[in-house]
């Protein structure tokens, strides 16, 4: 009996790899997504910290920028990843 025994379609599922929820940092510049699949974080809070820093153009964690970044947005979305995937903390 597999981990998903009793669920529809469970007989054909490969459950050999353990999956975890990670958070992908999505960066959009001038309407173009410049994110790569390796921009994954273990913690939503850390991911959001980086997203905010990208949007604000922070040069250091304790400094506010003089001018707000224009045409740059960043946010985090949940994404399933193998437990062997390297993640930012």
- Tell me, yes or no, whether 74 lies in a domain: yes
- Tell me, yes or no, whether 57 lies in a domain: yes
Q: Is the pTM of this model over 0.85?
A: no
The confidence score (pLDDT) of residue 15 equals 55
- Tell me, yes or no, whether 30 lies in a domain: yes
Between 66 and 88, the higher pLDDT residue = 88
- Tell me, yes or no, whether 88 lies in a domain: no
22-51: average pLDDT: 96
Please provide the distance, in angstroms rounded to a whole number, between the alpha carbons at the two ends of the chain: 35
Q: How many domains does the chain have?
A: 1
- Tell me, yes or no, whether 60 lies in a domain: yes
Write the secondary structure of the chain as one string of H (helix), E (strand) and C (coil). Answer: CCCCCCCCCHHHCCCCCCEEEEEEEEEEECCEECCCCCCEECCHHHHHHHHHHHHHCCCCCCCCCCCCCCCEEEEEEEEEEECCCCCEC
Mean predicted lDDT score pLDDT of the chain: 82
- Tell me, yes or no, whether 34 lies in a domain: yes
């Amino acid at each position: 009996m597999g981990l998903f025994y009793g669920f529809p379609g469970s007989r054909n599922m490969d459950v050999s790899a353990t999956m975890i929820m990670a958070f992908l940092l999505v960066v959009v510049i001038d309407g173009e997504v410049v994110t790569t699949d390796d921009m994954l974080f273990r913690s939503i809070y850390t991911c959001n910290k980086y997203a905010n820093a990208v949007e604000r153009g922070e040069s250091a964690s304790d400094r506010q920028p003089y001018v707000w970044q224009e045409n740059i947005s960043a946010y985090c979305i949940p994404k399933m990843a193998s437990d062997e995937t390297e993640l930012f903390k």
